[in-house]
Structure 1
Amino acid sequence: MSDISAKKLILVDGSSFLFRAFHAVPPLNNAKGEPTNAIYGVSNMLRKLLHDHDTPYFTVIFDAPGKTFRHDLYDQYKAHRPPMPDELRVQIKPLHDLIRSLGLPLIIEDGVEADDVLGSLAQYAAREGFRVIISTGDKDMAQLVTEQITLENTMTNTVLDSQGVIEKFGVRPDQIIDYLALMGDAVDNIPGVPKVGPKTAAKWLQEYGSLDNLMANAEQIKGKIGDNLRESLATLPLSQQLTTINCDIANHYTLDDLKRGEPDIVALKQQLGSLGFSSWLKTFEGQTSETAVKAETTPSLPVAPEHKDYQTILTQTEFDGWLQNLKNADLFAFDTETTSLNYSEAEIVGVSFAINIGQAAYVPLAHNYIDAPEQLDRQQVLTALQPLLEDATHAKLGQNLKYDAHVLSNHGISLRGIGHDTMLESYVLNSTASKHNMDDLAKHYLGQDTIHYEDVAGKGAKQISFQEVDIIQATEYAAEDADITLRLHQTLSEQLQKQPRLWDLYQQIEIPLIDVLTQIEANGVMIDSDMLAQQSMELANRILGIEQHAHDVAGSTFNLGSPKQIQEILYDRLNLPVLKKTPKGQPSTDESVLQELALSYPLPKLILDYRSMSKLKSTYTDKLPQQINSKTGRVHTSYHQAVAATGRLSSSDPNLQNIPIRSEEGRKIRQAFIAPQGYKMVAADYSQIELRIMAHLSGDTGLLTAFSQGVDVHSATAAEVFEVDISQVTQDLRRSAKAINFGLIYGMSAFGLAQQLGLSRNQAQAYIDLYFARYPGVKQYMDSIREQAKLQGYVETLFGRRLYLPEINSRNAALRQYAERTAINAPMQGTAADIIKRAMIACHNWIRDSRPDVKMIMQVHDELVFEVAESQLETSIETIRNRMSAAASLDVPLLVDVGCGENWDEAH
């Protein structure tokens, strides 16, 4: 093989990654408040490519502003594209400057799209014997794939060769142009064939081979889709032209034009400093252009320490030295290794610390494998640590410190002084990120693969307990946890502090809430297991009766728990209409389908009842008694702060959020949650909190007046929408108004409202139109929040919590509409979550400081539940109501309904 045939060219579709980075990376700003998230995302992608591909041939291509030859072909080309957001536009020049300072060729051809430049350069280099990799996220580029040209998407870590194109799209690379022409493109305004999506386009091309052959045989295509094809025959050649990448455009470039040069270190330092990319800037300290080539290709901005010093502490002298260092430190990272993931059962096996990056220590305390070295006495070490760990003025850092607080409590230590938690820093920074565990955070923010628990303890049936892990391995794992936590904190806190409202929310709500949730979980709740056993028997009889009735209706026996058998009965035997299909093309039996079928047919209703009763029995009446802690006699749930994107808490083992409140069976389960002798259960619930938040956010005069005057808002809405006097509003009218009130704030369509109220779609739309006519402020708010979300990519709660909406400008209509509905509801749901968290903190502080005989034992949606001594019932109820009402200052009153009783159902 000749030298040139062994060479590789990297072509970067800068425009594709610019837009994707802007919507994928959470908003960032430099010290001047200028947006930098798109620059951050694209530059990280470039650095990863430079790191992964050792070649001097590396070029970045961007679209030029203005029209191209495609606009001459079709004046409506891209006519519907929204204007570029200002927050993105201002990042383009600094990004171009940064790319040039890196020494990378940057190509922008006037009047030519980046796709055509990429195609031309790729084919030119391939003819010269180069292997070409196009880094892009654009599906149109698949038409360029050959044996020598492949696509690489660094954002999804995927590579597409010819076989990959077939597997992804169902057609060969040479059929992609026809595939795209058939589907059209709503964003680029390419006509295509109406109602033809990827599956149909691929199916036709698999059968007919090409668009020309398909058009010649258009009469063979049956049904409405065939009519659409025939009606589109005149425009399909135009669509084909518009989707074809012109590979004869950029023919004046040579291979030398595509070769990277030396970076301009002086310019880079100035630019990185201005952008606020301080971690990347540090890699250039003391560097010249010649020594910087390696530094700038580091795949992620934060830099790992060159030397790691992880110490195993086995002697008292070593421990005493570390303890003194911890006492002198302003902040230290702390982690526990334990016998169990269940906090109520876990005992400490060892502890780890880190004060400085790259330096950490592990103190093994209970490793018990054969030949394990002698370790320090666990009780003596914990006793020595206790004053420091219980010192509220000495800041500690951890990852999910609530768990460590519980574990320490099992050993008689009350962890105080929680300064920072990296899990929560990540969550507040971007709650829509799917994972906030340490391994994923280290990979995402530090570019580092960590040692996983399975790496030291094994997997599955062969997994050993941490007590059995070799101490040398345990040190590498545990000390790394503390070290990584410290490094993550430096990165995450730096980003958070650039967003003052997020930083305040993190410090004033999420961090204080750790102590609150730790205490609630430790308090637990009493359960009447005998009552639940009786309920299990009753549910078993109900389930048996439902099964027998279902078999009678179906005309044969079948397993009501089997989707396959349900599918056969409903669709093959009873011929019920197929409303929806599974991804594999089978008639669906999911809950939404059964609910719609249940409006007209008896069997789907029975199946839903069976599922509901079976879930209550298995999840609650059977399982709750098994979850009673043998030491406390109570059930202790786990609350999760970093799960729901809106800021709401969730719970597990047991999940308290899903116990139904409106059904008789759900209320019976709540009756088994009881207060101990001499106490009452008190439940305090915010009244219509999300509607009140809507009134505040929208400023609608009608809603504000109704709430301020204490008028029942559903009755007021019924009077307005149905045009009757409020005194004439019936329960049915109020129920319909309630569906409209709540439906609209959840983004419900006319179709959804029609289903819920049993109306025609036109009637439902008329009600919605009348609602907006009566409450114009609500309509104005909904429209403005949608537009705001499209421009900035996120919405905010009243307290600054952000919910990012990466699909808000999606070409996929279903994804985009879902994001728009979320944009409307998230500020209300998220604000409600923030308010109840503030209320929890206020109530917790009152209990801690005043020490009444009161325990906060549960949080469920908009409700707090307490155990209160009977002697303090009246004053405690009043204090709880006042503290919850004062948790936020809105333009309407925050009302709190408070009840008490022997059990949760009575209190609610």
Structure 2
Amino acid sequence: MTAIKPLVLVDGSSYLYRAFHALPPLNNSKGQPTGAIKGVINMLRRLKKDYPGSPIAVVFDAKGKTFRDDMYPQYKAQRPPMPDDLRSQIQPINDIVDAMGLPRLVIEGVEADDVIGTLAAQAGKERPVLVSTGDKDMAQLVNEHVTLVNTMTDTVMDIAGVNEKFGIPPELIIDFLALMGDKVDNIPGVAGVGEKTALALLQALGGLDDIYKNLDKVPDLPIRGAKGIAKKLADSHEQAVLSYTLATIKCDVALDVSVADLLPTEPDNARLLSLFTELEFKSWIDELSRADRAESLAQDAPSAQDGGVASGIEGAALPFSGEADYQLILSQAQFDEWLKKLQAAPLFAFDTETTSLNYMEARVVGVSFAVQAGQAAYLPFGHDYLDAPDQLDEAAVLAALKPILEDANKRKLGQNLKYDANVLANHGITLRGIAEDTMLQSYVLDSVGSRHDMDSLALKYLDHTTIHFEDIAGKGAKQITFNQIALEQAGPYAAEDADITLRLHQAMSPQLEASSTLMSVYRDIELPLVPVLSRIERNGALVSRDLLKVQSHELGLKMQALESEAYELAGGEFNLASPKQLGEILFERLQIPVIKKTPKGAPSTAEEVLVELAHDYPLPKVILEHRGMAKLKSTYTDKLPLLIAPATGRIHTSYHQAVAATGRLSSSDPNLQNIPIRSAEGRRIRQAFIAPADHVIMAADYSQIELRIMAHLSGDRGLIDAFAAGEDIHKATAAEVFGVALDQVSDDQRRNAKAINFGLIYGMSAFGLARQLHIGRKEAQEYIDLYFERYPGVLRYMDETRMLASEKGYVETLFGRRLYLPEINASNGMRRQAAERTAINAPMQGSAADIIKRAMISVDRYLSDSGVDAKMIMQVHDELVLEVAPAALDTVKKDVVALMMAAADLSVPLEVGVGVGANWDEAH
């Protein structure tokens, strides 16, 4: 007897929000947000594939109030309004669901949960029901006929699953929610009862009614503060009962449709093709086109009766189906076969699996390869869990691979190959022949279009959900390292990494090749930088643990003094790190005016608010000083000693090429870009970066590079002449704007001119300039008008840039790097103006980023070829930091300056300042 197919009820509203927040912020070329659309539809496609033949219905929340709002007006009252970028994706989702032939339900006056609960109750009497959702509240529906499935996390939850996840059976889930409340839905619950307490009460006494019948037993329970909890329960009885009602999914909604009506219709492929084309879902378009061609061929092909044989399309690209030939290499014969494939391949994908994300500590436990799409292998040699199968010898494997990996003529492809290069170096292998990197291909194609990790790219370009690391290794404190993962799971995961990398390269390469300028950015800047950054990272920087310890102690003393000062100003002690307590002190006790509120309506104590208030009130100024000291202490003086690698005695930051939208490098562990240089405490941290014995620190820094790029891009004669004459540009600007002789410019005038120069680069308005200079808005606008009167080329450049950005949807650097601007034509004025400011600034920031990267490549080549006793140890903002032997200092200084100045050919000279010292601070 054939088993009855389950009814699948999809919580569309749950997935809508989860897809929007969990997936990359994808946009098509028109700037239309598409990430939530892709996430929701991908999930529906997955359900159709996983449950073939099952009826699937999609349920969404209706607009307007529900019966719960009538019962409790504060229900969901604090939820922020739906973001515009999400709202605009709802109609396309509805259209696609309808075109897929899936029943779509939107019932007024109730929530999607209630519709699903009602249908599940009706259908469960006759057939199994699967509720597809990410909402924990739905666990109350689970019974012997109803199961939850979450396609985003690949988890299925039956009765046993609810017990395992929550520690209680499904029938107590409502009681659980009633006790602890729900901040998202604004269900009040019992004040002071959290998740752990609610669970303990339910496990000890039963449901809500049982708890209230046995309140006298609560004080004796092994719960922290049990006596107080008993009182809280008694005081909140009405709230608890209300919360129970609000949390209960209604399973008897009067519906115009029945389970029998939830039958799919044939998909409207023509409509789907039109929608996918409009939204630019390329792979889904290709899939529909292939299906149409296959159907056409099947209809046109001679039948078997005619003696003919139907044939496929020769040479057609295969869609990614998830069915691939993945091998686990455990024998020498298999390895020998793959060595031949790698030797013969013009390009192969390569990936390492390791014991750690820390590239200085990580050991390789296996490697994966792919030489053509759909064919990949994982070769493990370091999995050491109990009863792990025999694997090939690590030393023998690496010895066999070393000639291939170190051969510059053997072209390798990877995803973030800099990491693989670093960990291979731990095994004495220097990775050469880095020919392609999919992370960098994605970044150059569109730095803001999505995240550039493999999981996001696979979804974007291949419509494929990869096996996530957490799926096989677990999460949080229970996560295991790769060497502990069973080969049955590790093999497909690792082989998929190599296969997907190759497929991504095949998908993105044609797009890069279509633009010679983008290809140049990729080939001439980003790819050559990979080994350069790897060397700088592994060189590391020497820091003084003792000096940092002293600095931490001194910062702690200063923070204590500031705390005492804050208590005195506030009239009592409070938690300086608590926004709530700080808000009460500032705006209630001290009656300081509120100048900004949080989205929830509370007075804001954000940094920009405190900066504004600090001009007129002493306490905000003290709070800011304390915050600054606390950040320095926790981020640098306390943390840097912990980051010193035992093997080298140095800190080794990680540089990220594919993070900042403009092309700038960022760094982490530690973040070198954020060490403040304007405060004495920040400069002292730089003093802890020291030169080793018999060497000095040399810092070479581009001077005012973005202003020089502005002069070049705008072609403004006044700016070009000022730079050509070697004048102090801020003094020159002050002389022009304020109409005084160069030698008569005051310090205040120079300071104001500097604010104007840099403010305009970042698109600052008169309002912003007025706030920065503490002057009236009218006076600030007069300064800006005078500036543009003296430098008309700058104004022309800004106007032309806004216009071009609006037409193209992107701006470019001097070297052709693009920054797409999805909001440049937004109907929302604030968002459009923010995009316009970015359009003006990005070519300057991006060009500066390109120039410093080109300089790094040249300097690295020079250091390698010349053999001088010097090495690059850091790149921060517009600065290169080197360790140099004193005997080589004059030569290195002269040559590095020449190379940095030659990194771009501008209409104004590039100026490089060089400092030398025993530590990084002295070198300025």
Shared fold, TM over 0.5 = yes
Code of the residue aligned with 1:476 in structure 2: it is P
Distance 1:333 1:165 in 2: 52
Deviations 1:653-702 (A, max 9, x none): 00000001111011111011001111110000100000000011111111
Structure 1 residues 462 and 139: CA distance shift in structure 2, 3 A: closer
Code of the residue aligned with 2:410 in structure 1: it is H
Distance 2:657 2:272 in 1: 45
Aligned-pair CA distance for 1:460: 2.2
Q: Residue 521 of structure 1 corresponds to which residue in structure 2?
A: 537
Q: Residue 575 of structure 1 corresponds to which residue in structure 2?
A: 591
CA RMSD in angstroms comes to: 3.8
> Secondary structure, in 3 states, of the residue corresponding to 1:905?
coil
Aligned-pair CA distance for 1:495: 1.2
1:666 aligns with 2:674: no
Q: Residue 327 of structure 2 corresponds to which residue in structure 1?
A: 311
Code of the residue aligned with 2:505 in structure 1: it is H
Distance 1:346 1:877 in 2: 35
Asked whether the 8 Å contact 2:349–2:370 carries over to 1, the reply is yes
Q: Residue 430 of structure 1 corresponds to which residue in structure 2?
A: 446
1:478 aligns with 2:494: yes
1:596 to 612, 616, 622: 612
> Secondary structure, in 3 states, of the residue corresponding to 1:288?
helix
Deviations 1:499-546 (A, max 9, x none): 221111011111111101100000000001111111111111111111
Distance 2:657 2:103 in 1: 32
Q: Residue 862 of structure 1 corresponds to which residue in structure 2?
A: 878
Q: Residue 411 of structure 1 corresponds to which residue in structure 2?
A: 427
1:612 aligns with 2:635: no
1:719 aligns with 2:664: no
Asked whether the 8 Å contact 2:353–2:364 carries over to 1, the reply is yes
> Secondary structure, in 3 states, of the residue corresponding to 1:830?
helix
Q: How does 1:247-262 map to 2 (within 5 A)?
A: none
Distance 1:503 1:399 in 2: 17
Structure 1 residues 564 and 440: CA distance shift in structure 2, 3 A: same
1:497 aligns with 2:516: no
Distance 2:747 2:726 in 1: 18
Q: Residue 116 of structure 1 corresponds to which residue in structure 2?
A: none
Code of the residue aligned with 1:494 in structure 2: it is P
Aligned-pair CA distance for 1:151: 9.2
Structure 1 residues 744 and 140: CA distance shift in structure 2, 3 A: closer
Structure 1 residues 263 and 143: CA distance shift in structure 2, 3 A: closer
Asked whether the 8 Å contact 2:873–2:881 carries over to 1, the reply is yes
Distance 1:727 1:602 in 2: 37
Code of the residue aligned with 1:337 in structure 2: it is E
Code of the residue aligned with 2:421 in structure 1: it is A
Q: How does 1:64-83 map to 2 (within 5 A)?
A: none
1:844 to 850, 857, 860: 860
Aligned-pair CA distance for 1:153: 11
Aligned-pair CA distance for 1:278: 7.7
Structure 1 residues 706 and 324: CA distance shift in structure 2, 3 A: same
Distance 1:619 1:459 in 2: 25
Distance 1:557 1:341 in 2: 42
Q: How does 1:308-457 map to 2 (within 5 A)?
A: 308-457=324-473
1:562 aligns with 2:578: yes
Question: After the TM superposition, which parts of structure 1 deviate over 3 Å for at least 4 consecutive aligned residues?
Answer: 23-27, 36-54, 136-145, 149-154, 157-167, 258-265, 274-287, 289-292
Aligned-pair CA distance for 1:24: 6.4
Q: Residue 193 of structure 2 corresponds to which residue in structure 1?
A: none
Structure 1 residues 144 and 474: CA distance shift in structure 2, 3 A: closer
Q: How does 1:219-258 map to 2 (within 5 A)?
A: none
Q: Residue 296 of structure 2 corresponds to which residue in structure 1?
A: 288
Asked whether the 8 Å contact 1:302–1:446 carries over to 2, the reply is no
Asked whether the 8 Å contact 1:714–1:738 carries over to 2, the reply is yes
Asked whether the 8 Å contact 1:280–1:303 carries over to 2, the reply is no
Q: Residue 216 of structure 1 corresponds to which residue in structure 2?
A: none
Aligned-pair CA distance for 1:807: 1.0
Distance 1:863 1:773 in 2: 33
1:161 aligns with 2:106: yes
Q: Residue 894 of structure 2 corresponds to which residue in structure 1?
A: 878
Q: Residue 629 of structure 1 corresponds to which residue in structure 2?
A: 645
Structure 1 residues 452 and 41: CA distance shift in structure 2, 3 A: closer
Asked whether the 8 Å contact 1:26–1:804 carries over to 2, the reply is no
Asked whether the 8 Å contact 2:326–2:375 carries over to 1, the reply is yes
Structure 1 residues 766 and 405: CA distance shift in structure 2, 3 A: same
Structure 1 residues 559 and 37: CA distance shift in structure 2, 3 A: closer
Deviations 1:268-288 (A, max 9, x none): 99xx9x999888766666651
Deviations 1:253-304 (A, max 9, x none): xxxxx99588999xx99xx9x9998887666666516669xxxxxxxx9821
Distance 1:685 1:787 in 2: 33
Structure 1 residues 848 and 278: CA distance shift in structure 2, 3 A: farther
Asked whether the 8 Å contact 2:36–2:89 carries over to 1, the reply is no
1:893 aligns with 2:909: yes
TM-score by length of 2: 0.70
Structure 1 residues 277 and 687: CA distance shift in structure 2, 3 A: farther
Aligned-pair CA distance for 1:46: 14
| Alignment: residue pair count | 695
Q: Between the two proteins, what is the percent identity of the paired residues?
A: 58
> Secondary structure, in 3 states, of the residue corresponding to 1:906?
coil
Q: Residue 647 of structure 1 corresponds to which residue in structure 2?
A: 663
Q: How does 1:783-794 map to 2 (within 5 A)?
A: 783-794=799-810
Code of the residue aligned with 2:355 in structure 1: it is T
Asked whether the 8 Å contact 1:432–1:804 carries over to 2, the reply is yes
Structure 1 residues 708 and 150: CA distance shift in structure 2, 3 A: closer
Structure 1 residues 166 and 573: CA distance shift in structure 2, 3 A: farther
Structure 1 residues 276 and 854: CA distance shift in structure 2, 3 A: farther
Aligned-pair CA distance for 1:643: 0.4
2:524 to 498, 508, 513: 508
Distance 1:666 1:361 in 2: 49
Distance 1:351 1:533 in 2: 41
Distance 1:140 1:398 in 2: 36
> Secondary structure, in 3 states, of the residue corresponding to 1:527?
coil
Structure 1 residues 855 and 284: CA distance shift in structure 2, 3 A: farther
> Secondary structure, in 3 states, of the residue corresponding to 1:406?
helix
Asked whether the 8 Å contact 1:594–1:605 carries over to 2, the reply is yes
Code of the residue aligned with 1:865 in structure 2: it is V
Distance 2:510 2:90 in 1: 39
> Secondary structure, in 3 states, of the residue corresponding to 1:440?
helix
